Chain A
Amino acid sequence: MKPAPLPENEQERLASLARTRLLDSVTEVTFDDFARIAAEIAGTPIALVTLIDEHRQWFKARVGIAATETPRDQAFCAHAILEDGLFEVPDARADERFHDNPLVVGEPYVRFYAGAPIEGDGKQKLGTVCVVDHVARTLTPPQREALTSLSRLISAHIELRRKSLELAELHREAVENAARLRLNTELLDLANDMILVKDFAGHILYWNQGAERAYGYTRDEALGQIAHDLLRTTYSGSRQAVVEILERDGYWEGELVRAKKDGAQLIVGSRWVLQRDDKGAPRAILELSSDITRRKEVQRMKDEFVSIVSHELRTPLTSIRGALGLLEGGVVGELPGEALELVKIARSNSDRLIRLVNDILDLEKMEAGKLELDPREISARAVIDGVVRALETLAQQAELRVRVEAPPELRLVADEDRVTQLLTNLVSNAIKFSPPNTTVTVSAERRGPRTVRLAVRDQGPGIPPDQLGKLFGKFQQVDASDQRRRGGTGLGLSISKAIAEQHGGAIGVETLPGKGALFWADLPAKAVSTMRSVAHGPRRLVLLVDARGTLSQALSPLLAEEGCVVARASDLAEAERWLDNSHPAAVIVDVDLPDSHALDIVEALSRRFTPDESPTIVLTGRLPDDDRRAAPLPVEWVLDPLDDQSIKHALRWGRRKGGVPRVLLIEDDAGFRTVMAARLRTLGVEVLEAGDAESALEAVRTTAPDLIVLDIGLPGRDGFDVVAELRQERARSTPLIVYTARDLGHEERVELSLGITRWLTKSRTDEEHFVQAVRELLSGLLPSTQP
């Protein structure tokens, strides 16, 4: 027996066969009819529709035979599918390929075989329609013709069957998708939140019922409109800034102020997701917003309430506490023993009430992020000693030893009062919960270049593991009855946690029940630094102007390390109040202010200070694209992301200390340039000269001049090009004198601005006027020359 070799394209053939989904399918009348017709055509007792699988031939339809499949290596059809036309074996016993085939020598005793291939998609031969007889014979030409036609008919039927199955599948998917989509849409409409889809330019593509309800525009009114125009959206920065973040991170979250159809204002908390197409280009913005107008209002009322309560509760408490204190102190005469006892109870409980009021207000402030920290460099050891001293009496009453383990050189950069409060909470807790004759250990150790850990270890009962998680929550004490006995307010640890976190630190506890507890707080430490301090002499005031508090959080430790006192203002009005009462050495502004542009602050400063007296001004964040006014005072830009190094650099650069001031003179007329340079040199400055845009840019980059004097009319690239390019670089804050033959319009002036800028017209400016402008813009860098 010679089994048939595999066809060349066997893999593709099997794949095509699988796509028909015929293998092992149920009996189908059509295929049975095909088999019967084949038997009729050939006049044979047996006819089959077969499919050749990897290891077997399987019968889709059969006449005159009981088996449903045979092994492939015995199959006549495996040979037939190698042929292009009809494959005929007149006498199997006389054929060396089949004479000993089990199908020939045993059931069903094949002598005659004829099979025409059935083709699938891609003309792959999947199997045959074949006829078999028990005697040797041949087919007549018309029989051959008919059998071949039948095989084409079967092929066509199989292909049709496959396509209709696929179509049914697609239809089912489409129905399911439609149902899912309907469900999603209904869910989106069910949401109270406002859900929008916009294209990248802001055109509204989808608008749910929540948006209809909140904004007052129906879907029909909203679709196709530009969202930020329709809703008159006000951004805390600018729309451009939001879009930039969205492009960078794919996500933006923040608050927006919008107007409803009836004009009423709405504050929304909004989350945006950017969808991109296959090529990565921005395609749509999905926006989910919720109305937080009411929440903001409640917050404002709560703040007001807290402030009133703070005063209104403390005033009567002052009288009660005061009266009891005087009675107890015997100021109006010795009290009899029992009366004194009662007064003591009243006094200690009024103390507790005061603590509770203070704690609640503290926590309130911390949770609202309103806790003003005043971070300074402080000795960890001194703080610990102070706390331990204050709690000495409490420790003695509890018959405890308190041990301190803190190297004297460790220094924190933290708010001393708040750290004292934190540590007092931890130590007094340890004292309260320790049995007599044990030791409480208070320690400080360095945990990293910028971290010091304060830790309090006791030998008390420890804390059950299931209580650990709740410990730092409000009004949590392990045993509620302890609260009264121990005299705590139940707020100490949550306050301590807030203090640690507000410092950018962390707090935690480790415990072994029965072996005591270890509470720790990691706080910012003074890093070992070789940098020269910005501030010389007495401590300098640095005013931080930022709405979000991120600037103060990021810079307070650095500035404290630099020996500066930090003040913070969260808007222009507050900044102005500070400036009314103080003269800071530097003002650092986050340009994302709710009520104003960063340059408004610079203008506020310029109303109060001349360039000579002006604090160093550092603007941080992104470059405002919508505000291209010239700064009226010298400013430094530090773009996001902030890092300590660039802030330090800006503070120093901004101070423009030391050396001979450098003036870059850009003028293409060599004669005129020589005259001007000579005049400038009489002021005691170093003059650098450039005759064209390229050498000017080169000079700015290599020498960082203190002042640029620019003639607009240059050969090739002109003065406008020079300024446009310098704006992209750190020279964007360099003072500039534009010196030109013609009058400049407002737009041109805006375009020709760097740091502090003056525009002078040659014909109208005499030499003195020019020299005065140079003096002014060099702001105190010139050697003093009395006229």
Chain B
Amino acid sequence: MIKTVLLVDDEPDIRTIGSMSLSRVGKLEVRTAASGAEALRMAGETIPDLILLDVMMPEMDGPATLVALRAIPALAATPVIFMTAKVLRDEVDRWLSLGAIGVIRKPFDPMKLPDEVRALVAGRA
């Protein structure tokens, strides 16, 4: 059962909408990070139950952030879901092969996002 989510996206609007969806609709406790580096710092301080990670970010992108997260022992098992506006299947497969439990495509429906997230986490268990 997940309670806390770390949402990582360089777009402030999407951080606002994503966190509103996850907290108001999904009743989850949400923190947001605007970059991979910030995500690493925040996740290291307080370990979330789940990390939602945007793929295309300047400097450290989603896959690179995931690899860095995995290097932190406490975060080695934290489930990570990618969010992306790109849809090429071979790319998606490659991200999944890095150990993410799923990919959520943008644009997402904010009323359904929490359910999708929970379904992916449940599917892994």
A582 interface contact, C-beta 8 A: yes
**B107 with A317: CB separation less than 8 A:** yes
B86 interface contact, C-beta 8 A: yes
Closest to B54 in A: A315
Chain B stretch 69-111: residues in CB contact (< 8 A) with chain A? 85-90, 94, 97, 106-111
Binds B, one of A10-18, A109-117, A319-327, A555-563: A319-327
A530 interface contact, C-beta 8 A: no
A314 interface contact, C-beta 8 A: yes
- Write out the residue numbers on chain B whose beta carbons fall within 8 Å of the beta carbon of A317: 106-107
**A323 with B17: CB separation less than 8 A:** yes
Chain B stretch 1-54: residues in CB contact (< 8 A) with chain A? 11, 13-14, 17-18, 20-21, 24-25
Closest to A373 in B: B89
A678 interface contact, C-beta 8 A: no
**A329 with B86: CB separation less than 8 A:** no
Known: A311-B56, A318-B106, A319-B17. A326 touches B24 (CB 8 A): yes
A244 interface contact, C-beta 8 A: no
**A319 with B110: CB separation less than 8 A:** no
**B86 with A331: CB separation less than 8 A:** no
- Write out the residue numbers on chain B whose beta carbons fall within 8 Å of the beta carbon of A582: 97
A361 interface contact, C-beta 8 A: yes
**B97 with A314: CB separation less than 8 A:** no
Q: Classify chain A's interface size.
A: 20 to 34
Assembly CA distance A317 to B110 (angstroms)? 12
- Write out the residue numbers on chain B whose beta carbons fall within 8 Å of the beta carbon of A331: 20-21, 24-25, 110-111
Smallest CB separation, B89 vs chain A (Å): 5
**B87 with A310: CB separation less than 8 A:** yes
Q: Classify chain B's interface size.
A: 20 to 34
- Write out the residue numbers on chain A whose beta carbons fall within 8 Å of the beta carbon of B97: 581-582
**A322 with B18: CB separation less than 8 A:** yes
Known: A311-B56, A314-B107. A322 touches B21 (CB 8 A): yes
- Write out the residue numbers on chain B whose beta carbons fall within 8 Å of the beta carbon of A372: 88-90
- Write out the residue numbers on chain B whose beta carbons fall within 8 Å of the beta carbon of A596: none
Name B111's contact: one of A329, A332, A350 (CB within 8 Å).
Answer: A329
Closest to A358 in B: B87
Smallest CB separation, A698 vs chain B (Å): 48
Name A325's contact: one of B87, B90, B106, B109 (CB within 8 Å).
Answer: B109
- Write out the residue numbers on chain A whose beta carbons fall within 8 Å of the beta carbon of B25: 326, 329, 331
Known: A331-B24, A581-B94, A582-B97. A322 touches B108 (CB 8 A): yes
Name B106's contact: one of A315, A329, A577 (CB within 8 Å).
Answer: A315
Chain B stretch 105-125: residues in CB contact (< 8 A) with chain A? 106-111
**B89 with A322: CB separation less than 8 A:** no
Name A322's contact: one of B56, B87, B94, B107 (CB within 8 Å).
Answer: B107
**A315 with B85: CB separation less than 8 A:** yes
Assembly CA distance A581 to B95 (angstroms)? 11
- Write out the residue numbers on chain A whose beta carbons fall within 8 Å of the beta carbon of B18: 322
Name B87's contact: one of A328, A361, A374 (CB within 8 Å).
Answer: A361
Assembly CA distance A41 to B109 (angstroms)? 120
Assembly CA distance A332 to B111 (angstroms)? 12
Assembly CA distance A310 to B91 (angstroms)? 14
Assembly CA distance A321 to B109 (angstroms)? 7
Query: How many pairs of A and B residues are in contact by the CB < 8 Å rule?
Result: 76
Assembly CA distance A581 to B98 (angstroms)? 9
Closest to B89 in A: A372
**B106 with A314: CB separation less than 8 A:** yes
Known: A323-B17, A325-B111, A581-B94. A318 touches B85 (CB 8 A): yes
**B106 with A374: CB separation less than 8 A:** no
Smallest CB separation, A494 vs chain B (Å): 18
Closest to B113 in A: A322
Closest to B15 in A: A319
Closest to A323 in B: B17
Smallest CB separation, B77 vs chain A (Å): 21
Contact with B along A526-559 (1 / 0, CB 8 A): 0000000000000000000000000000000000
Chain A stretch 297-321: residues in CB contact (< 8 A) with chain B? 307, 310-311, 314-315, 317-319, 321
**B110 with A354: CB separation less than 8 A:** no
Closest to A581 in B: B97
Assembly CA distance A581 to B93 (angstroms)? 10
Smallest CB separation, A560 vs chain B (Å): 16
- Write out the residue numbers on chain A whose beta carbons fall within 8 Å of the beta carbon of B88: 372
Name B107's contact: one of A307, A326, A354 (CB within 8 Å).
Answer: A354
- Write out the residue numbers on chain B whose beta carbons fall within 8 Å of the beta carbon of A318: 11, 14, 17, 85, 106-108
- Write out the residue numbers on chain B whose beta carbons fall within 8 Å of the beta carbon of A358: 87
Assembly CA distance A319 to B86 (angstroms)? 16
**B86 with A307: CB separation less than 8 A:** yes
- Write out the residue numbers on chain A whose beta carbons fall within 8 Å of the beta carbon of B85: 310-311, 314-315, 318
Smallest CB separation, A366 vs chain B (Å): 13
**A326 with B89: CB separation less than 8 A:** no
Which interface residue of B88, B94, B97, B110 has the most chain A CB atoms within 10 A?
B110
Name A374's contact: one of B14, B20, B89, B110 (CB within 8 Å).
Answer: B89
19 contacts between A and B (CB under 8 A): A310-B85, A310-B86, A314-B85, A314-B106, A319-B14, A322-B17, A322-B107, A323-B17, A325-B109, A325-B110, A326-B17, A326-B24, A328-B111, A331-B21, A331-B110, A332-B24, A372-B90, A374-B89, A581-B94
Please give the residue numbers on chain A whose beta carbons come within 8 Å of chain B beta carbons, in ascending order.
307, 310-311, 314-315, 317-319, 321-323, 325-326, 328-329, 331-332, 350, 354, 358, 361, 372, 374, 577, 581-582
New A-B contacts (17) at CB < 8 Å, excluding given A310-B85, A321-B110: A307-B86, A317-B107, A318-B106, A318-B108, A319-B14, A321-B109, A326-B17, A326-B24, A326-B111, A328-B111, A331-B20, A331-B21, A331-B24, A331-B111, A361-B87, A372-B89, A372-B90
